[in-house]
Structure 1
Amino acid sequence: MTPQSDEDEVWRQIVASFNDTAERDSADQPWPDSENLPVEPTRRVVKPPEEDLAAAADDDDSDADDDPGDEGDDEDEGHFVPPAPPPLPKLDLPTKLAWVALFGGPAYLLVAAMASWQMEGWALFTAVAAFIGGFVALVVRMGDGPPNDSGWDDGAVL
């Protein structure tokens, strides 16, 4: 037998067993038993009724004088409230005009097409030119350098 005929035979076996189903024994658990995690029962947190909370608060009043920083806010423990985001930067007039042109030109064309308005050549040209001009103005004003307040350290060097 030649090596080519062995490869052909192996290929025929692969093609013949293409539609066969896999054995279910190996598919049930593809890893060893030593890697299985033990099943732990589900833990539940039960809140006491409101009356019990009020009674517990009355009992703890004597202890509250000892530690004034502890207010008993157990519900807020671990709860993160993010700070308010900083305000958006104020835009100058050319940037505002560029955004209006970028969205205004296609918006006019869309409204005119939906309303079946008769559009003249100068209106089409103005709308397309406004879109292209707004895009170019925003890209040119974007800048490609680091911010001026970044200091001498530009971050990690790899």
Structure 2
Amino acid sequence: MTPQSDEDEVWRQIVASFNETAEDASAEQPWPDRENVTEEPDAGEDDGATGDAAPGDGIRDEDGTGDGTGEMRASAPADDHYIPPAPPPLPHGDTLSRLSWLALFGGPAYLLLAALLQWPMDGWIVFAAVAAFIAGFVILVVRMGDGPPADSGWDDGAVV
């Protein structure tokens, strides 16, 4: 038999079994009892409990031992969730930073608004808007401060 005929035979078998369903080997295996999670009868109701259960209540170890009830809790109580602390207030920028942001967004915003409303735009107005955009961008980039701190000394470590 040639390799081509073997390949043709394999393709015929694949095409012949295209619409057949696959056998599920796991269908005969029962679900292990240790994987079953049982809910308490009133798990969905809020009974005002504070969730002051003893450590290990309703939880079984890996080897199947636990508190002896044979049940696991489905989920934590609804009122037992994490509440993050309030974020710190945003820092107030200095006047130059605020003016730079205003120029960065204000110049193009004015040009867009003037074009949409068909305001007459003199050459000096367009120049001022473009210059404000460029100046705001340059000032913000220069003030980024992405260099090493001034007190870091002569050895920065490995700089790539």
**Structure-1-length-normalised TM-score:** 0.52
The equivalent of 2:36 in structure 1 is 38
Match of residue 128, structure 2, among 126, 139, 143: 126
Give the corresponding residue for 1:2: 2
Q: Which residue of 2 aligns with 1:101?
A: 103
Map of 1:23 onto structure 2: 21
Give the C-alpha shift of residue 93 in structure 1: 2.0
Q: Which has the higher contact order (CA 8 A, sep 6+)?
A: 1
Shift of 1:124: 2.4
- Count residues in correspondence: 120
Cα–Cα, structure 1 residues 31 and 139, in superposed 2: closer, same or farther, change >3 Å?
Answer: farther
Identity %: 55
Deviation sequence 1:103-150 (CA, Å, 0-9, x none) = 101210221122111223332232223223222221221121466899
Counterpart-to-counterpart distance in 2, 1:149 and 1:32? 67
TM-score, normalised by the number of residues in structure 2: 0.51
Deviation at 1:4, TM superposition (A): 4.3
CA distance in structure 1 between the aligned counterparts of 2:137 and 2:16, rounded to whole angstroms = 58
SS at match of 2:143: helix
Separation in 1, partners of 2:16, 2:132: 63
User: More helix per residue: 1 or 2?
Assistant: 1
C-alpha separation in 1, matches of 2:20 and 2:145: 59
Which sections of structure 2, spanning at least 5 residues, go unmatched? 49-76, 153-160
Aligned to 1:47: 47
